[in-house]
Amino acid sequence: METGVNIIVSGFVQGVGFRYYVFNRAMRLGLKGYVKNLYNGDVEIEIEGNRSLIEEFIREVKVGPRAAKVNDIKICWKEPEQHYKHFEIQ
């Protein structure tokens, strides 16, 4: 079942390869959307695809790359907009 989710990741997640980690996980799972740094130090992820694959993706994002420290993750499920052609780093 296709679904979408907006994720805000807080912690030590900028300058540690977090976006590239997210990009690689999303590409491996065939998910679409984007990841970008926010001005407040958080990272935003907008992603669409199969719900079970997104749930696997979220489990990996909660861990993050070795240098990162994820303190909090906010997840907001939503209807997929289906306008993403691939996954990208913004």
Mind listing the domains of the chain with CATH numbers?
A: 2-82 (3.30.70.100)
| Average model confidence (pLDDT) across the chain | 95
Name the catalytic one among 19, 50, 59, 71. 19
Compute CA distances 60 → 24, 29, 81, whole Å: 11, 11, 23
pTM of the model: 0.95
Read off the pLDDT of residues 39-68 as tens digits, 9 standing for 90 and up.
999 999 999 999 999 999 999 999 999 999
Name the catalytic one among 37, 40, 66, 71. 37
Is 19 known to be catalytic? yes
